[in-house]
Structure 1
């Protein structure tokens, strides 16, 4: 076994053992009474989503309910995941286009080890394709009841076999009484948003929930026009009958916003509030294909999702104590990207102008002097039509002290892509900075830099058979095992250059077997310890083949093998909830491509660390949440970067959220809360030559309920206006470009319970 991996296992064991002894010692004198907290039910990581008590789980899972989400006030779906230990999120790209890293797993961007599920079904089987990660096609609103974040654990065996992080969003359900809520939100950056949700009973044992939102704003980084617009409608129906229930849901979304990108770090006037997009450059003409076909696009459309996610489930109690659960999901729509992407470092007009002294704006006719800061900006167009269908059927039965479950997971995944990326030209560096005349390459259809155009079609199918078993060895010890056999097929063809000729085509067919095993030991009804090992795989999809064609045409080397170990301690009482998890993992066969056409780096990455997720709730109204991760990463196999740290992975991160609820007067209530986030330095590249400095960020908020049905909320994000950096320039690490976290923003909302 590799030395680092061996040390990882030992370090995790020692760390968790220490945490266990410490907490047990602290709680030894306390009365161990059963509390409502021990009855929290989770469904993630269980066959067919049958559910189990969180305190009994032999894996690490974080659950956030609707009140937690309201307090966190996330700016995007990915922003919400910051509340999950072991997860590093770069949500500075806007509503879409986030980068999500899990437990030190390697990656150059997007979210290759994240699956987003809705009602227990993956919304899209491929966690990441180029210019698409799962959070782009999911929006958080008032229809969400809870989200669960499962790291590692039984993930490699159940559902789509994601070895990293699975976040499962559970919708609100109707009950016998009718409830309705209306909410209006505005902000200091011109946001107008209305949320509505209503639920109740349609007929005996037939319940509904319907809700959604409409919104519009110029964006936190002001584009000068309504660059962020969207709407969403969700319907959830549940029918209860004697032997089970049927659930059907659909969510229709049309939401897009500016794709925020790295900006120059060495140009005066460019700060965290800067965005290149504006009224003078949102429309642009690009040239593509062998005949330099010209076409105009509106880059103000940014990045987003226009489509539907629908599905349902059937739960049946069968004769002889058998249980059946079937869950399915259909996703279809467009996930397009239009972006103004920097190419290299900023420069000045004099260095590139034809006359070496000035250039003229194409829109205004203004003459810009030689000292004017400018930069090559790529007009990137990615049109992406996606479609998927998943079905997960599981049957289960208890035989004495043994629970068994058997399942079949099947999925089809489709993607049709049309790209024209590159299309570089020099623009003035200011918000809405215009294109310049008087620079030779700006007037050429070939542009000023590299371009890459494709038209591709891909189909993938996955079929997996899995089995899990839990043995209740004693009243306190549970042993569980899981096994999965997966067949993965891909059919893919691509026309590079948009000349009508197929340059690459393949039919791929591979099988893999994943496994997991865990032991849970209940110290008492409120606490326990667990240990778990697993091995899983991330199977390749369309872009993996295109980017790594050459020596990897066969595809075997494109399968990422993930081996993990976990040790955990957990304690839940009326006041305290403490979950400490040590982890160690190895990801073998990861590939990193800086930009299309570049050679791929094939590497093995190892990491170990500790996650802490704790809550303190006092009857006085005071509560504190602590979320922390400490980890060590190392590239243990690479042609050029062996021994370095994994790029963009902080060594530690911390989030502390204190809150206090109190009574203002007769039947009037208020709360105040804050979140302090701190993150360590990171390297912006695998070469470890670019350092991204750590930073601290403070968010504050308050709520006020003057009457029972009325609620006012004020939230301030990044109160001190910290200018932290989440990434450098992923295509040119030496260029002094970076992407700032969002600047200070203020939101105010008014919500009213109608019934």
Structure 2
């Protein structure tokens, strides 16, 4: 009911505000897909001053994805969009939330430890990753997004929250003098039903608004037999233009979740459309705690975000030579995870049935014979409540040939967790395969596997003073230096076992210093070379202490030290550009824990490689974009895996997107396709399981009419490739794997006014 009410309210507001402009819309000029002059592309992420710069002038690697780029990618989740960023390997096969994102050979076993997502230039949540939560899970893409910046390495270890890996910054659309808007309906071959709406305009002189959002539901691209994906979102953005700057305020409220897609048994009858979740097993009771308390859960909740991100910014020019920027955000909500997680191999029912022959379906009462394949499924429940307040201010002094900035970043954040993971029970291997009776451990006479239950609460504070200085040595040569001094505090307690006893308590207070040095040689206005050296760190958060509590008690600071070198070439003409960046990374002190509560491996990783980011278009309507990464990620220090390749990171990958735009009567048509190719990867640091490389083809067609109507068709994974993104991260020797998403097609119709 609340979805329907939301849709009615949003549509009614859009239509009411649209009426005064319908006449103007009918007189609008013919729709044209005008190309941007690539020389004038700007980036807004990475500068200590918070001011935008031309991409071709920047002394670091950054990518820009505009509204049209996002539309052609047709991402199924936020992390799906990251595949278009050079140097990034994103595994978005787990559904609308809970992606795994790897950056330039940086180590990781899951989630996204070296990714920060920003909205309007401020992190949505300061910790980049907690167990069962990475930043992209709290963010949904819709029509309110104007563009996204993606900063890799470079000065990122000094600015914002000091993320040394990847920072993606989403910028919202703003209103203007005229009232404009969009209403859009989307459906798909998997019965997606979605309505987006957006309207913007002026509230008063120099005061502008934008409001937009969506409501959607579907059974999921992997059909669960019920609406396993549901959600809505609404965003309000208010902008006040001043004589000497701008004030911005925004709020974004989201309630959106989807099924958690997990590795599946690699046996006959299981393909890339398979999901364990279904009508026969979505509701189940689990036991937890020392007394074996029982509680029923709906695992159809999956993974998602029910919360809000609100904030704003103040940008002021003070007497021409001074600039002041303050950005702030408050985030609060629940990021829960419920799912059916495989544990071990598929086996014949006869090997585990009490009578050695058959077992009974717990829901249907059907009898399954001994040849039926079954597998242990863990019914995992993670309740996670988070909150944060973040502020980032900077004061900049500009001279004739220099720029000096001093800034203060502060963030207070918390996470309260309740977990019961494990809860294994044998299920039939079939979509929505049901639980069975007549198996001892299923019927609580034995144990089907391990359990790990916790109740934890954590609070953290980060305070960082940073400074940057840039000097123009000549008309073509400039150099810069940045320094960050950070204090990081964590208060954290854990009750393992849900017995009311606190067996892990953390009081942590450490300081760290980051530095970046850069030089930029602008050979011409549209061509240059840059070099950069950076030292940064990834500070420990709550889960780092839980998984490495012994090391913490022994006095280790648990800080992951990151060193990076970059050498880049930049060329931007009016109709093409080429950015090539060579990089070298070293990460010391990385810790990898295969299963929460299990043993931890300490690693040092190194990686070197080249990123390519290029685009071209001509007057005939043809255009093409290319991004590619070639890298060699290696474990250089490990008790058992030294010399091996870092897990789950391809040696090379590329994405090639040609498109052709042409006119037909009163229509402008854009036909495009994307070819993705990925190298082999190892599923584990031991390098025992190979995930084979693959190629994937996506296609699409956009049709625009001069009356504001637009039609979009997109098909992803046209050949229905069934490649794997991961094996079984909890037990690499088990023949389980998670497929890339199957072939799907979406169709949208929208009206711009």
Shorter-chain TM band: over 0.9
Map 1:31-180 → 2, pairs under 5 A: 36-180=37-181
Q: CA deviation at 1:445?
A: 7.3
Aligned-partner SS, 1:169: strand
With normalisation by structure 1, the TM-score equals: 0.94
Aligned-partner SS, 1:689: coil
In structure 1, the residue matched to 2:19 is none
In structure 1, the residue matched to 2:750 is 751
Q: 1:708 to 1:570 in 2, by over 3 A?
A: farther
Cα pair 2:440 2:446 within 8 Å, conserved: no
Q: Which runs of 5+ in 2 are unaligned?
A: 1-35
Q: 1:346 to 1:175 in 2, by over 3 A?
A: same
For the aligned residue pairs, the C-alpha RMSD in angstroms reads 1.0
2: distance between equivalents of 1:60 and 1:708?
Answer: 39
In structure 1, the residue matched to 2:538 is 538
Map 1:653-672 → 2, pairs under 5 A: 653-665=653-665, 667-672=666-671
2: distance between equivalents of 1:522 and 1:613?
Answer: 19
In structure 2, the residue matched to 1:28 is none
Aligned-partner SS, 1:493: strand
2: distance between equivalents of 1:745 and 1:467?
Answer: 48
Q: CA deviation at 1:705?
A: 2.1
Q: CA deviation at 1:506?
A: 1.3
Q: CA deviation at 1:446?
A: 6.2
2: distance between equivalents of 1:555 and 1:346?
Answer: 43
In structure 2, the residue matched to 1:677 is 676
In structure 1, the residue matched to 2:406 is 406
In structure 1, the residue matched to 2:294 is 294
Map 1:545-584 → 2, pairs under 5 A: 545-553=545-553, 556-584=556-584
Cα pair 1:48 1:326 within 8 Å, conserved: no
2: distance between equivalents of 1:263 and 1:552?
Answer: 36
Map 1:380-391 → 2, pairs under 5 A: 380-391=380-391
Deviations 1:60-95 (A, max 9, x none): 000011111011101100000000000000000000
In structure 2, the residue matched to 1:686 is 685
1:698 matched to 2:697? The reply is yes
Q: CA deviation at 1:299?
A: 0.1
2: distance between equivalents of 1:320 and 1:330?
Answer: 31
In structure 2, the residue matched to 1:633 is 633
Deviations 1:431-470 (A, max 9, x none): 1111101000001076411000000000010000000011
1: distance between equivalents of 2:555 and 2:747?
Answer: 51
2: distance between equivalents of 1:471 and 1:555?
Answer: 41
Q: Which runs of 5+ in 1 are unaligned?
A: 1-34
2: distance between equivalents of 1:528 and 1:446?
Answer: 68
Aligned-partner SS, 2:46: coil
Q: CA deviation at 1:48?
A: 4.4
Deviations 1:571-598 (A, max 9, x none): 1111211000000010000000011222
In structure 1, the residue matched to 2:442 is 442
Cα pair 1:621 1:660 within 8 Å, conserved: yes
Runs of 4+ in 1 over 3 A off after TM superposition: 554-557
Map 1:730-741 → 2, pairs under 5 A: 730-741=729-740
Q: In the comparison of the two structures, how many residue pairs are matched?
A: 718
Deviations 1:503-549 (A, max 9, x none): 10010000001000111111111111100000000000000000011
Deviations 1:353-386 (A, max 9, x none): 0000000001111000000010000000000000
Q: CA deviation at 1:555?
A: 5.9
Deviations 1:585-636 (A, max 9, x none): 1000000001122211001000000000000011111000011000001111
In structure 1, the residue matched to 2:6 is none
Cα pair 2:37 2:575 within 8 Å, conserved: no
Point out the more displaced range, 605-614 or 551-560: 551-560
2: distance between equivalents of 1:650 and 1:127?
Answer: 22
Aligned-partner SS, 1:328: strand
Cα pair 1:545 1:553 within 8 Å, conserved: no
1: distance between equivalents of 2:645 and 2:604?
Answer: 11
1: distance between equivalents of 2:343 and 2:381?
Answer: 15
Cα pair 1:292 1:445 within 8 Å, conserved: no
Aligned-partner SS, 2:155: coil
Deviations 1:624-660 (A, max 9, x none): 0011000001111000000000000100001000000
With normalisation by structure 2, the TM-score equals: 0.95
Q: 1:445 to 1:382 in 2, by over 3 A?
A: farther
Q: CA deviation at 1:327?
A: 0.3
Q: CA deviation at 1:478?
A: 1.1
Q: CA deviation at 1:553?
A: 2.6
In structure 1, the residue matched to 2:379 is 379
Cα pair 1:574 1:617 within 8 Å, conserved: no
Q: 1:446 to 1:545 in 2, by over 3 A?
A: farther
Map 1:707-746 → 2, pairs under 5 A: 707-746=706-745
Aligned-partner SS, 1:82: helix
In structure 1, the residue matched to 2:592 is 592
Cα pair 2:510 2:557 within 8 Å, conserved: no
Cα pair 1:545 1:555 within 8 Å, conserved: no
2: distance between equivalents of 1:278 and 1:635?
Answer: 40
Aligned-partner SS, 1:485: strand
Q: CA deviation at 1:319?
A: 3.2
Map 1:592-611 → 2, pairs under 5 A: 592-611=592-611
Aligned-partner SS, 2:69: helix
Deviations 1:16-46 (A, max 9, x none): xxxxxxxxxxxxxxxxxxx932222211001
1: distance between equivalents of 2:173 and 2:699?
Answer: 27
2: distance between equivalents of 1:308 and 1:352?
Answer: 47
In structure 2, the residue matched to 1:472 is 472
Q: CA deviation at 1:314?
A: 0.7
2: distance between equivalents of 1:671 and 1:88?
Answer: 28
